[in-house]
């Protein structure tokens, strides 16, 4: 990597977001000796690789994966990483398919992987050698001499020769707008076309074991009239040994329709639909709203390199392929593009 930068540029690259794509980018840059800082507004890292827990009155903890539930592997680079993680015991195969509305377990031959400590453990494992500043909400991005100036809600500034943006695209565009950073009309039009489905996640603690079909989850996405896309038993998945908990994901249509509704109304409707399948009594619940759950019209390339003179790259699961694997491949490709000299 070229390092002939003015002294005011502190890092070779700043990455906004420490979800799977930001972490994947950070790992490549670090491997190649580029000084890199990741900034994330969350209290922890991982973004949509999200695991929540609560203390139980009787001792122990209840755990829930409330964003990504499992992941699949289709590409060689991701397979190589997952092979290492399987060997290290960070990841395990959960199953090779899920029951649909009819409740009959399915096996399509493709492994679905989970993380025994919860999905967030995967992010923390992969990011363990990276420089990351959490609780750092970026509010503005503008051009600096030979790079980028990134300003935060707490009044900090970071400067980098290159910048990778991995938040959901509308959030990244808002940061550029706040700093009066102009994109070409073509880049702006491409980026503005990217949209995401919203998703309610209902997290429920049960009074006993749920009775979902093996392996403890049911996939209802696309089933006519279902307001639920997915139900997973976190106890049977192996991430909540002390408590019987389920994660319920609402369909995008239902979530859009009830986005501003009170949470007890939303929870009531989702539980009415889910409880007959779970067949256990719900002790307590909470609702989480994902405004940007999964992209609906991803950009075909693994990243978008904006037509600016200092490197500015948009990456994440809305570029190339969706989901956890797509986020990994996107971050990785964006970092490799920064390391390569401009054509
Ligand atoms: C409900 C749900 C279910 C899902 N199920 C699956 C599944 O089963 N399998 C699967 O493979 N994928 C699933 N996904 C998708 C998967 O979680 C994502 O594709 C992947 O985690 C996206 O990673 P990312 O790094 O692109 O984005 P994110 O994980 O969203 O990371 C972006 C990061 O940017 C940070 N950020 C945003 N704005 C700022 C700012 N202003 N300043 C600083 N930091 C900022 C955020 O805090 C976040 O950590 C699911 C997602 C959801 C929400």
Nearest to 202 by CA among 153, 262, 263, 258: 263
One domain for residues 273 and 208: yes
Model confidence at 7, pLDDT cuts 50, 70, 90, reads very low
**CA-proximal residue: ligand 1, atom 33 (nearest):** 17
Q: Write the pLDDT tens digit of every residue in 161-201.
A: 999 999 999 999 999 999 999 999 999 999 999 999 999 99
Provide mean pLDDT across the span 212-216: 96
Tokens found for residue 209: 């074991």
CA-to-CA distance for 214 and 103, rounded, in angstroms? 9
One domain for residues 215 and 284: yes
Contacts of 308 (CB under 8 A, 6+ apart): 143, 181, 183
One domain for residues 144 and 187: yes
User: What sign does the dihedral 305-306-309-313 (CA atoms) show?
Assistant: negative
Atom of ligand 1 nearest to the CA of 72: 11
Model confidence at 341, pLDDT cuts 50, 70, 90, reads low
Q: Are residues 258 and 269 in contact, defined by beta-carbon separation less than 8 angstroms?
A: yes
CA-to-CA distance for 154 and 139, rounded, in angstroms? 9
- Positions of E strands within 128-222: 132-133, 138-144, 147-152, 157-165, 196-206, 217-219
One domain for residues 158 and 111: no
CA-to-CA distance for 99 and 103, rounded, in angstroms? 5
One domain for residues 282 and 166: no
In the chain, the N- to C-terminal Cα span, in Å, equals: 14
Mutate to test the pocket of ligand 1, among 68, 126, 298 (most ligand atoms within 8 A of CB): 68
**CA-proximal residue: ligand 1, atom 6 (nearest):** 68
3, exposed or middle or buried, with CB in 10 Å at 0-12, 13-18, 19+? exposed
> Domain range for residue 169?
1-46+127-195+302-343
Residue 341 per-residue DSSP state: P
**CA-proximal residue: ligand 1, atom 31 (nearest):** 19
Q: For residue 120, what pLDDT is reported? A: 98
Cis ω before 111 (30° cut-off from 0) = no
CA-to-CA distance for 113 and 119, rounded, in angstroms? 10
19 Cα: distance to centroid of ligand 1 (angstroms): 6
One domain for residues 227 and 241: yes
Contacts of 321 (CB under 8 A, 6+ apart): 74, 75, 298, 302, 329, 330
Tokens found for residue 37: 């800082």
**CA-proximal residue: ligand 1, atom 7 (nearest):** 68
One domain for residues 65 and 131: no
One domain for residues 285 and 331: no
168 Cα: distance to centroid of ligand 1 (angstroms): 8
67 Cα: distance to centroid of ligand 1 (angstroms): 8
One domain for residues 1 and 131: yes
281 Cα: distance to centroid of ligand 1 (angstroms): 31
CA-to-CA distance for 304 and 191, rounded, in angstroms? 9
pLDDT at 253 over 90: yes
Atom of ligand 1 nearest to the CA of 40: 44
Number of domains present in the structure of the chain:
2
Q: For residue 342, what pLDDT is reported? A: 58
**CA-proximal residue: ligand 1, atom 49 (nearest):** 47
Q: Write the pLDDT tens digit of every residue in 106-151.
A: 999 999 999 999 999 999 999 999 999 999 999 999 999 899 999 9
With a Cβ cut-off of 6 Å, ligand 1 is lined by: 16-22, 39-42, 47-49, 67-71, 137-138, 166-167, 171, 175, 199, 201, 249, 290, 293-294, 316-317, 322-324, 327
Mutate to test the pocket of ligand 1, among 41, 42, 48 (most ligand atoms within 8 A of CB): 48
252 Cα: distance to centroid of ligand 1 (angstroms): 16
Q: For residue 191, what pLDDT is reported? A: 98
DSSP per-residue letters across 33-60 = T--EEEE-SSSSS-TTS-EEEEE-TTSS
User: What sign does the dihedral 208-210-214-216 (CA atoms) show?
Assistant: negative
Residue 299 per-residue DSSP state: B
Q: Over pLDDT 90: what percentage of the chain? A: 91
H helices of 19-166, in order, are 20-31, 76-88, 119-126
Model confidence at 8, pLDDT cuts 50, 70, 90, reads low
One domain for residues 142 and 191: yes
**Residues constituting the chain:** 343
One domain for residues 201 and 83: yes
Mutate to test the pocket of ligand 1, among 47, 75, 194 (most ligand atoms within 8 A of CB): 47
**CA-proximal residue: ligand 1, atom 50 (nearest):** 68
Atom of ligand 1 nearest to the CA of 315: 26
221 Cα: distance to centroid of ligand 1 (angstroms): 19
User: What sign does the dihedral 289-69-52-54 (CA atoms) show?
Assistant: positive
The CATH number of residue 319's host domain is: 3.50.50.60
Q: For residue 279, what pLDDT is reported? A: 85
Provide mean pLDDT across the span 234-252: 97
Q: How far is CA 47 from CA 25, 41, 172, in A?
A: 14, 9, 14
CA-derived radius of gyration, the chain: 21
The CATH number of residue 248's host domain is: 3.90.660.10
Domain boundary among 273, 293, 313: 293
**CA-proximal residue: ligand 1, atom 1 (nearest):** 67
One domain for residues 165 and 229: no
Tokens found for residue 328: 């990994």
């Amino acid at each position: 990597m070229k390092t002939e930068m003015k002294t005011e540029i502190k890092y070779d690259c700043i990455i906004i977001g420490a979800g799977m794509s930001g972490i994947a980018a950070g790992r490549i840059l670090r491997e190649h000796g580029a000084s890199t800082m990741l900034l994330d507004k969350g209290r922890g890292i991982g973004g949509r690789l999200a695991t929540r827990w609560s203390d139980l009155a009787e001792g122990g903890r209840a755990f829930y994966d409330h964003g990504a539930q499992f992941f699949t592997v289709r590409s060689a680079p991701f397979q190589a990483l997952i092979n290492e993680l399987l060997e290290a015991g960070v990841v395990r195969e959960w199953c090779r398919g899920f029951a649909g509305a009819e409740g009959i377990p399915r096996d399509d031959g493709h492994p679905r992987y989970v993380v025994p400590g919860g999905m967030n453990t995967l992010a923390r494992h992969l990011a363990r050698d990276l420089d990351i500043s959490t609780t750092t909400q970026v509010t503005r991005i503008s051009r600096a001499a030979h790079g980028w100036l990134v300003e935060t809600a707490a009044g900090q500034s970071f400067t980098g020769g290159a910048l990778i943006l991995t938040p959901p695209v509308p959030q990244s565009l808002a940061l550029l707008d706040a700093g009066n950073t102009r994109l070409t009309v073509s880049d702006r039009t491409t980026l503005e076309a990217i949209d995401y489905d919203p998703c309610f996640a209902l997290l429920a603690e049960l009074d006993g074991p749920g009775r979902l079909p093996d392996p403890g989850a049911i996939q209802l996405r696309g089933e006519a009239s279902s307001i639920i896309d997915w139900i997973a038993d976190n106890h049977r998945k192996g991430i909540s040994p002390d408590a019987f908990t389920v994660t319920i994901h609402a369909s995008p249509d239902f979530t859009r329709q009830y986005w501003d509704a009170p949470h007890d109304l939303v929870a009531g409707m989702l539980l009415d639909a889910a409880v007959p399948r779970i067949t256990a009594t719900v002790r307590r619940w909470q609702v989480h709203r994902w405004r940007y759950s999964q992209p609906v019209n991803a950009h075909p390339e693994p990243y978008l390199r904006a037509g600016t003179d200092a490197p500015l790259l948009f990456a994440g699961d809305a570029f190339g392929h969706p989901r956890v694997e797509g986020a990994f491949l996107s971050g990785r490709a964006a970092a490799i593009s920064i390391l390569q000299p401009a054509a």
